[in-house]
A and B are shown apart, each in its own frame.
Chain A
C-alpha cells in the first residue's frame, strides 16, 4: 500500500498557523457603517427570542426588519463554554456574565465599545456602567443587559418555606436525591458564600477568591452535599429542571427566575437567601475579530432600547437596565422592576456576580495568592466524576 506521507513542511505550516491563534487587532469601532446582513451571537437561552416560543416575546424580528441583520444564535451551557465558543472565531459577540467577561477582556478576545455609537447607553442605570465585570481601566467593554441572583427554589407542597441556604447544605439529608444544583465549577462559590455566613472565622471576603484553606473548606462542604445524591442542571439544559420541578423529581435547588416563571402552575416558590446569593450581571460584548461589527453595534444598541430590554428582561425574569425599559416592562408585567430590584442597588450588595477565580486574588495586594480557576475546574471534575 502506498504510504501517503504528509509533507513535513505542510505539517509544520499547519502547526504554526494554529499557534498564531486568534490574537489580532482589538480596536474600537470608529464609525458605524451599514449592516452586513448577518449576526452570529452566543447567548444564554432566552436572550434572543424571535417569537417562536411565545409570539409576544420577540425582539429579534423587529431588529432584523429594521437593520437587515439576520440573527443566528447559539446557546452556551455555562460561561466557560461561552468563552470557548467566542474563541472559535465564528461569532460576532454575545451576552456574557462576569466570569466570562473578565477572561475575555484580559485575553483580548473582546473589544472596547465606542459609546458614542450607542445612543441608548446613556439611559442605562449608573449602577451597571463601568463595573469591574464590563470595563477595563475605565473603558467600557459592552452594553449591560440584565442581572439576576441565583435563587433558592422549593416545592411548597413538600418543603417548608426557606430563608437561608441551609436546605442545600446542613439540612440537605432530608431531600436526598431530590435537590438540584448548578453543574459548573462556578457553584463552588455558592459553597464558599454559605461558609461566609456559617464559618466566619475562615475569613472569606470574596466567594470567588479563596485561599487554599478556604477553598478546601468549600470543597469539603460540597463533598458532604454530594453524599445526598444531588441532581444537576446547567444553562443549556434548564428545561430539564423545569420538568423535574414540575414532576416532583426535585423539591429544592438553585435556579433562575426564568424557571420560576415557567413553573407558575406548579407549587414552587423562590427566594434570595438571607446570607446572600451568587448571581450574574450580563453584558453584550463584541468580539475583537467580529465579522459583522456594524450589525453587532446595532444589536447592542437595540438591546438597550426600552422595548427590547423590557421584553427580554421580563421574559427571563431579570432586572431591566434603564428607567425606560422599566417603564415598558410595567406595561407587559406590572411590578416587574420592583420584583427584580432593577434600580435598587442595595439589593445587589449581597449578591456576588459570577467572576473568575484568579491566582492573584484580583486585588492590589501582591502578598495574597488564591486558588486559580484551573483548580476549581479540576476540583469540580473530581466531585462530579466520582
Chain B
C-alpha cells in the first residue's frame, strides 16, 4: 500500500520557531528583550555619563594647575554661579533668544507648511519636502560662515545697505544670532507642523465655514488648536538647539550664551563650574519637555 503523499508527518519545528513559540508565551520577557538594548544604551551610557559630569559640579579645582580635586566636596561652583550676576544675565539672554527664535520659526513655518499640506499638488508637495530637507545637508558650519560673510563689513548686507547710506551692523550683533538660529532650525519646525496640518481633516474646515466662520476664525479656532501639539513638537528643537549652542554666538556675535559658558569653562579647566552651569539648561529643558509632553507634542514629533 502506497503512503499518502499528503499525509507526511509535520517536520520538527526549527530552532527559531521553537524560540518564537517559547517567547510568545512570555510577553513580559519579549518586552524586556526589546527594551534591554535601548535602555542600556540610554541609561547606562548616556545618563551615566551625565551623572559623572554632574558629580564634578560638587568638586573643586586647584586654582593654579586647574586640575579637579575629585571627592573634595564643596558647593563653591554653585555658589559662584548663584552670586555672580553675569551667569543670570547670560541665562536670561539665552532663554530670551531661544524663545524669540521659536516664535520666529513658528511664524515662518506655518505658511509654507500650510501650503504644502493643503494647497499644493502631490508633485509640488514632494518637491517641496525635498527642497526643505536639502539645506539640512549643507554643512551647519558652512551655513554659519555664509551668514557671517553676509554680515561682515565688506559683505552682502553692507552692499545692499550702501545705496541707502547705511552700514551693516557687523559681525558682533546679537541680532545676528537670532537670524542665524532662526534660519538653521527652520526645517525642524516646518516638518512637524506640516505633518500636523496634514492630519487636520478637511471635513472639519468645511464644517467650520459651513457654520459661517471666516478664514481667520477657522484658523484661530479650528486649525491652530489642532496643530498646536505639532508646533510644540517643533519648538522642542528650535528652543533646545538654541539654548545649548555656542558656535553661532561665537562666530556671528560677541555676546556669550549658556553654551559658551559651559564650553569656555570646560576647556579652561574649570570643569566644576561648567558642570554646575550645565544644570541650568538641563533643568530648563526637562521642564520644557514635561510641559511639551503634557501638551501632546510627543505624539506629533
Contact = CB atoms under 8 A, between A and B. Distances in A.
Interface of A: 1-2, 4, 6, 14-15, 18-19, 21, 77-78, 80-81, 83-84, 87, 103, 106-107, 177, 185, 229, 231-232, 237, 240, 243-244, 246-249, 356, 358-359, 372-375, 377-378, 381-382, 384-386
Nearest to A372: B63
A373 B63 CA distance: 6
A300 B85 CA distance: 46
Contact of A15 (B39, B43, B55, B85): B55
A374 B261 contact: no
A78 B269 CA distance: 12
A19 B59 CA distance: 11
A4 B64 CA distance: 41
A333 B262 CA distance: 43
A18 B52 contact: yes
Interface of B: 32, 35, 39-40, 43-44, 48, 52, 55, 61-67, 70-71, 80, 84-87, 89-90, 152-155, 170-172, 250-251, 254, 256, 261, 264-270
Interface of A is mostly: helix
10 contacts: A2-B32, A4-B43, A15-B70, A77-B267, A80-B269, A229-B254, A232-B254, A373-B63, A374-B61, A381-B256
A247 B65 contact: no
Contact of A385 (B55, B66, B256): B256
Given A4-B43, A385-B90, A249 B64 contact: no
B172 A378 contact: no
A160 to B, nearest CB: 20
Contacts of A19: 70-71
A77 B256 CA distance: 16
B268 A244 contact: no
Contacts of B44: 4, 6
A80 B63 contact: no
Contact of A14 (B52, B84, B155): B52
Contacts, number: 113
Contacts of A243: 152
Interface centre among B61, B171, B256 (most CB of A within 10 A): B171
Contacts of B62: 107
Interface centre among A4, A77, A240, A356 (most CB of B within 10 A): A4
B154 A231 contact: no
Contacts of B265: 377, 381
B138 to A, nearest CB: 20
Nearest 7 CB-CB pairings of A with B: A247-B154, A249-B153, A107-B65, A374-B63, A19-B70, A385-B86, A80-B268
